[in-house]
């Protein structure tokens, strides 16, 4: 018995051979194509945000001077606050030296429930929300002081150990300040660096005797 010839199957086979032929031609052409050379100068440059008030290319500043005591404008205004407000007899005084440093000196007395002396700036507010903390250069007498700031209704402190007759640089992150009231720590309240009304130095180590500390500058840092 003879098998019938399948013309449909033959036609499909011819189409498949023709298709494969043209595919091989296209693949051969693709292999002969070379990628164009990409030059660095042709690549897009990453965008850079520049403040509108910047006219020259400057090195990024890592600090902002708050006080350096070189002029009247950069010295701030200062008040002395002693334990006399509580009946104590401690004393303190401050002035700017010929070397352009703020010199804070006095004597602590524990009589009449006293025991502290401080100096505080006033009359000028600061928005330091773009900065990480405070940097200051001090020369003390070996006693432990507190660097203070004020925001809203609260004072914020941070302890500051000094070395006798030796200049040291201290950096205090804003997040490290803690709120106080009458020398007692208040948990759960953070310093608002966007609205600081005062900076200062407090001596409250519960020790009798004279004290001296010099402040070279106060800066905000990143």
DSSP H or E segment with residue 144: strand 144-151
- 14 belongs to a structural domain: no
- 82 belongs to a structural domain: yes
- Give the SS3 label for residue 121: strand
Domain with 110, as residue range(s), is: 63-221
pLDDT of amino acid 16: 52
pLDDT of amino acid 8: 52
- 38 belongs to a structural domain: no
- 186 belongs to a structural domain: yes
User: What digits encode the pLDDT tens for the residues 48-86?
Assistant: 322 333 333 343 468 999 999 999 999 999 999 999 988
- 9 belongs to a structural domain: no
* pTM greater than 0.85: no
Q: What is the CATH number of the domain that holds 186?
A: 2.60.120.430
| Total domains, the chain | 1
Torsion angle of the four alpha carbons 96, 102, 107, 113, in this order, in degrees rounded to the nearest 10:
120
- 47 belongs to a structural domain: no
Q: What is the mean pLDDT of residues 27-42?
A: 35
Q: What is the mean pLDDT of residues 176-189?
A: 92
Mean per-residue pLDDT over the chain, rounded: 81
Q: What is the mean pLDDT of residues 93-111?
A: 97
- 51 belongs to a structural domain: no
Rg (C-alpha) for the chain, rounded Å, is: 37
Here the tokens at position 206 are 């519960």
User: What digits encode the pLDDT tens for the residues 183-216?
Assistant: 889 999 999 999 999 999 999 999 999 999 999 9
- 28 belongs to a structural domain: no
């Amino acid at each position: 018995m003879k098998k019938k010839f399948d013309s449909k199957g033959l036609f499909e086979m011819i189409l498949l051979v023709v298709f494969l032929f043209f595919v091989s031609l296209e693949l051969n052409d693709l292999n002969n194509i070379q990628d164009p050379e990409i030059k660095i100068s042709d690549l897009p440059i990453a965008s850079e945000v520049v403040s509108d008030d910047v006219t020259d290319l400057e090195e990024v500043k890592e600090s902002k001077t708050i006080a350096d005591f070189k002029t009247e404008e950069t010295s701030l205004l200062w008040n002395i606050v002693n334990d006399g407000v509580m009946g104590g007899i401690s004393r303190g005084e401050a002035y700017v030296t010929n070397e352009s440093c703020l010199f804070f000196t006095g004597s602590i007395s524990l009589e009449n429930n006293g025991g502290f002396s401080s100096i505080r700036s006033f009359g000028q507010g600061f928005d330091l929300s773009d900065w990480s903390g405070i940097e200051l250069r001090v020369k003390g007498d070996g006693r432990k002081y507190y660097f203070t700031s004020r925001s809203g209704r609260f004072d914020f402190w941070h302890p500051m150990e000094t070395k006798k007759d030796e200049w040291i640089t201290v950096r205090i992150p804003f997040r490290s300040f803690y709120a106080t009231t009458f020398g007692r720590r208040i948990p759960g309240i953070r310093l608002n660096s966007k609205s600081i009304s005062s900076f200062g130095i407090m001596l409250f180590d519960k020790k009798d005797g004279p004290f001296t500390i010099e402040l070279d500058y106060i800066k905000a840092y990143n």
